[in-house]
Amino acid sequence: MKPSILLFLLAVVTLVTSSVQAAGPSVSLDSVKVDVDDRISLQRGARLFANYCMGCHSLEYMRYNRVGRDLGLTENQVIESLIFTTDEDGELVNPGSLMSNAMTPAYGDEAFGRAPPDLTLLTRVRSEDWLYTFLRSFYRDESRPLGVNNAVFENVGMPHPLWELQGWQEKREDADGAVRLQVVEPGTMSGPEYDRAIRDLVAFLSYMAEPTQLDRQRIGIFAMLFLLIFVVLAYLLKKEYWKDVH
Ligand code: HEC
């Protein structure tokens, strides 16, 4: 076989196996239904992201003022509740800036072993269910450098960012051998409250990965209405044209 064909086959095999790895989680994912039309939920998600995630993760394909516009926030609200990043002079960046942060990849690599990735497109790369389950699956694990592990992302390099809200979970084995996570030290939120907070966060990142979905749904309804009216008109027109033919 020619070397080029061999290389091609090798590339195909690598591609197929790597996508299978990415698609095949070892734990079953909890499914989540987010409503990106619920602006209040998106606003809560945005606030959580700004307070608990932006220090490490950027959303650098998005601008603050676009988020403000889409989520119905005034410019002052954007400045007060979303912008914590400062520029070289120590001033808060302006609302027209991209949502990047001050952490350089080199610093991230050194501090965590792997730099925190940009999350703008996360729900498209993983999925909403994956993110929802991931953020609810941190548990204590003394064998890890940060004392924490994740059931969905084994040996993750990220600390549990929301431990104050969720509390701490530990891995427990049931009598029938099934492994589950149990809260052993409660946080400031109850289980259902925490799940709702995570749903808001997932909704926000789902909007982030595809901001036009807000418009698309609205335009979709108008398009359907237009087609409906057009069908009626076309039908009447057809009746008019054919009425003398028979
Ligand atoms: C202290 C820094 C830090 C904070 C705060 C933080 N993360 Fe992370 N995050 C990381 C690091 C480092 C990684 C890379 C981990 C790895 O690959 O092992 C990561 C990875 C991730 C991943 C996996 C990305 C992928 O596909 O590989 C997701 C999702 C994520 N973080 C979401 C969040 C969310 C949501 C928040 C806020 C609630 C948050 N992170 C807060 C440091 C942080």
pLDDT at residue 225 in the model: 96
More confident residue, 137 or 90: 137
Question: Domain span at residue 88?
Answer: 34-210
Taking CA atoms only, the protein residue closest to ligand 1 atom 36 is: 53
Q: Is the pLDDT of residue 131 over 90?
A: yes
Residue 190 placed within a domain: yes
Ligand 1 pocket, 25 CB below 6 A? Answer: no
On whether residue 116 sits in a domain, the answer given is yes
| pLDDT tens string 193-241 | 999 999 999 999 999 999 998 888 889 999 999 999 999 999 999 999 9
Token pair of 95 as six digits: 């609302």
The pLDDT-based confidence of 23 (bands split at 50, 70, 90) is: very low
Domains contained in the chain, number: 1
CATH number at residue 60: 1.10.760.10
Please tell me whether residue 63 adopts helix, strand or coil conformation. strand
Position of tokens 């269910």?
129
| Residue 27 DSSP class | S
Give dist(CA 64, CA 83) in Å, integer. Answer: 8
Nearest-CA residue for atom 24 of ligand 1:
117
Is any atom of ligand 1 closer than 6 Å to the C-beta of 46?
no
Is residue 127 one of the residues assigned to a domain?
A: yes
Within-domain flag for 74: yes
Mean pLDDT, the chain, whole residue set? 90
Cα 143 to chain center, whole Å? 28
Given its phi and psi angles, is residue 155 left (phi above 0), alpha (psi -120 to 50 degrees) or beta? left
HSE value, Cβ hemisphere, 13 Å, CA-based, for 104 = 3
239 found inside a domain:
no
Enclosing H/E stretch for 45:
helix 39-52
Is residue 118 one of the residues assigned to a domain? yes
3-state SS class at 100: coil
What CA–CA distance (Å, rounded) separates 148 from 138? 7
Q: Write down the pLDDT at residue 4.
A: 74
Q: Per the structure block, which two tokens stand in for 62? A: 């998005």
pLDDT at 25: 47
Query: If pLDDT is split at 50, 70 and 90, which confidence band does 14 have?
Result: low
* Residue 49 within a domain: yes
Taking a C-beta distance cutoff of 8 angstroms, is the pair 115, 105 a contact?
yes
Closest ligand 1 atom to 126 CA: 26
The pair of three-digit structure tokens given for residue 4, joined into one six-digit string? 């080029």
- Residue whose CA is at the smallest distance from ligand 1 atom 35: 53
- Please, are residues 139 and 181 in contact by the beta-carbon 8 Å criterion? yes
Closest residue CA from atom 5 of ligand 1: 53
Residue 12 belongs to a domain: no
Report the amino acid identity of residue 173: E
- Show the 3-state SS of 126-147: CCHHHHHHHCCCEEECCCCCCC
- DSSP-assigned states of every residue in 160-210: -TTHHHHEEEEEEE-TTS-EEEEEEEE-SS-HHHHHHHHHHHHHHHHHHH-
The band of 24, judged by pLDDT with boundaries at 50, 70 and 90, is very low
